[in-house]
Amino acid sequence: MSAEETQDIAKDVLAAATEAASKAPERVLNQDEIDSLLGFEVDEDTVPERHGIDAIVNSALVSYERLPMLEIVFDRLVRLMTVSLRNFTSDNVEVSLDNVSSIRFGDYLNSIPLPAILAVFRAKQWDNYGMFTVDSNLIYSIVDVLLGGRRGTAAMRIEGRPYTTIELNLVQRMIEVVLQDVQAAFEPLSPVTLEFDRMETNPRFAAIARPANAAILVRLRVDMEDRGGRIEMMLPYATLEPIRELLLQMFMGEKFGRDSIWESHLATELWSTKVALEAVLDEQKLTLRDVMNFVPGQTLMLNNGPDCSVDLRCGGIRLGTGKMGRVGNHVAVRVEQGIRHHKRAEAPAIETKIPEMNMSGGGK
């Protein structure tokens, strides 16, 4: 093939590739696909899962699913709160669990919608703190219900003013009722005393953990007919660390590795297990040169005599001592001191076969 023909073929291939590239449509991401990639479209109130880059950034958080007993505790808490808040408000109250998630403590403080009331409590037995967050809708609903507000009308919300002393006291009474329910919910698992510590309206003054620390966030919805709001409980992982082993249980009362049937079977098999017992007549320290100079037929002189004690070992562990003798055609050792140091009526004779040895020199 000549050079001119080669150049013509190359030009044809280049023209075909250019024409194909011009006909291929350009793939451009629209705004919805960009938001999905970055994870901006996720609504944390409705969809707890994260997507895109946001999921990669927050993948280091500890998942609450590692503590399965928490779900049982929070389900019990919902039932207890439904009854106690009905008695507290004398109204038809429905409490529901929205979700349980893990979040960094600093991220949660930055996401609290203001105005809100933050109640800090102390777990006495766990020697750490937790926090409740009551949103403004629930605050005005509780005040409206307790002070005889008319039913069928939404609670009036006044913006731009701090909470009054009456509102703070009523919310504190509700928090104390909820604290009693949390104590009762944890009672079957681990008794704990929760003490009300203080109440804050500024999230910066309610810091109970480092901003980067992981915590468990429990969102509860309180509905009173056409009124209600949300109360959130924040428990840092450091608070739950003393009962972490209990929270790892799959069901109440689970025993970690304590299976009585398996223990009985293991003990029975251990009693019938055969082990190799070694009778050590003597031990000497030799140089590597002397060991390398060993020749077949060489006799090693031992320091033990016929009346000296012989160590009985199993796997390098000394089990007892005995006297060496002979039973029939076998060299035997009579046990004189075993593992138990208390006196026995008669020490049984254990026959231990020892390889053929030169009795004048001894051996092992």
Half-sphere exposure of 360 (CA within 13 A, CB side): 2
Per-residue pLDDT band at 355 (split at 50, 70, 90): very low
Rounded distance between C-alpha atoms, residue 302 and residue 48, angstroms: 77
Contact predicate 209/236, CB 8 Å: yes
Q: How many CA atoms lie within 13 A of 256 on its CB side?
A: 6
pLDDT tens digits, one per residue of 227-256 = 888 899 998 888 888 888 877 776 655 555
- Mean pLDDT confidence for 343-360: 43
Q: Give the chain's domains with CATH numbers.
A: 64-247 (3.40.1550.10), 278-294+301-350 (2.30.330.10)
pLDDT score for 180: 92
Residue 54 pLDDT class (50, 70, 90 cuts): low
The confidence score (pLDDT) of residue 327 equals 85
201 touches 77 (CB < 8 A): no
* Under 8 Å between Cβ of 129 and 123: yes
Judged against a pLDDT cut of 80, whether residue 12 lies above it is answered with no
Model pLDDT, residue 357: 40
Average pLDDT on 213-227 reads 87
Residue with tokens 């429990």: 218
Q: Is-above-0.75 flag for pTM?
A: no
Please tell me whether residue 241 adopts helix, strand or coil conformation.
helix
